[in-house]
Chain A
Amino acid sequence: MKKNGFTTIELLVCFIVISAISVSMFGVVMHYKESQQVESIRSDLLTYKYNLTKTIQDDLIKIGVESVTYNQLTSITFTFKDHTTKTLSVDRDQYLIHYGDTDYPLPNIDGLEIDQGTYFLIEPVDTTTFVTIRIPFVHPDLENRDYALFIVHPYTNTL
């Protein structure tokens, strides 16, 4: 009688090989799943930073700054050449940055917050004043890169 089909040994070898491949792939898949989560957080934070940077830089560069004052350590007020004023302020407790009439809440990500520090610096050098804005964001998964909102704006003193 002719016997067709696999032998027990063949099935066993096949099972062992497939198991080995599955186990080795599991680590790789988990690694990429974690990477994808970090990448998603990074992408949301960068989009937030880019939008806010562009909004502020557009005003600073296109309209031009007449003068700048600190209100407190957490806010700075720009008077523009068209005589309008806008205040940039940081509210760590509410997880938001306020600029002009608009609130910019941080992306809704667990663990993401605004770090402590001195956010604004105004340094007059000769006839130029350098305004430095640095608002750092922290997240446990994003520790090896600088994601701070960073703007340096030199303007000529006219007062």
Chain B
Amino acid sequence: MESLIVSVFVMALFTVLYTNVFPLIGQYERRENYDDIDSKYAAHWVRKMILDKGNSVALKNSIAQHGYSVLTSCDSTFFQDVTYCMNLREKMNIDQMVITSYNLTDVKEPMKSSGTFSIEFQDYLDYLPNYATDLDKQAYYRVIIEVDHGSYNYKTFGTIEVIM
């Protein structure tokens, strides 16, 4: 009887340890793809392109309507210099670029259910905080990018705020 109780206790202990530690390893491996230095600088250049060559009125209207706007196709509605945008995207291996409102509370779910973004991108959205507490940042927006690492078969993600 004593052996049975000890066995059950030890098994339960190992199960609890395993179920708590194993997801942490997965999360760590996933998060090394988030906000690395290359993605951060790529996001910086997308922000600079939006500020220097973007149509801020069209962008603001689009974000006001949908909460976010996908910039990946370098639509001429949003950019004066489409060639520059396409080249920047290609040379920095940017797979996806999006501008959202600063506060992501009401944006994450519509983005995830739109079918436009990869599973990895949706995981990154879940990882990001909602940025809901900075109520004074009304003129702030957020750029989120996905960078493809080609034959290495993984993607990295970065975000940076934009003041328009």
* A126 contact from B41, B42, B84, B154, Cβ within 8 A: B84
Bound-complex Cα distance A54 to B40 (A): 11
Task: Report A152 CB to chain B, min CB distance, Å.
Answer: 5
What total count of A-B pairs have CB within 8 Å?
A: 39
* B91 contact from A54, A144, A152, Cβ within 8 A: A152
Contact A128 B87 (CB under 8 A): yes
Q: Does B149 contact A (CB under 8 A)?
A: yes
Bound-complex Cα distance A54 to B37 (A): 8
Q: Does A3 contact B (CB under 8 A)?
A: no
Contact A145 B154 (CB under 8 A): yes
Contact B88 A154 (CB under 8 A): yes
Contact B45 A146 (CB under 8 A): no
Contact B87 A150 (CB under 8 A): no
Range class of the B interface residue count:
10 to 19
Q: Does A151 contact B (CB under 8 A)?
A: yes
Q: A126-B83, A128-B84, A145-B152 are in contact. Are A152 and B44 (CB under 8 A)?
A: no
Q: Does B38 contact A (CB under 8 A)?
A: yes
Q: Which of B120-164 contact A (CB under 8 A)?
A: 149, 152, 154
Q: A146-B149, A154-B84 are in contact. Are A49 and B91 (CB under 8 A)?
A: no
Bound-complex Cα distance A33 to B39 (A): 30
Contact A150 B84 (CB under 8 A): no
Bound-complex Cα distance A132 to B87 (A): 12
Q: Does A119 contact B (CB under 8 A)?
A: no
Cβ contacts under 8 Å, B41 to chain A: 53, 57, 151
Q: Does B92 contact A (CB under 8 A)?
A: yes
Bound-complex Cα distance A151 to B91 (A): 10
Cβ contacts under 8 Å, A150 to chain B: 38
User: Can you list 6 A-B pairs, Cβ within 8 angstroms, ordered by A?
Assistant: A49-B37, A53-B37, A53-B38, A128-B84, A130-B88, A154-B84
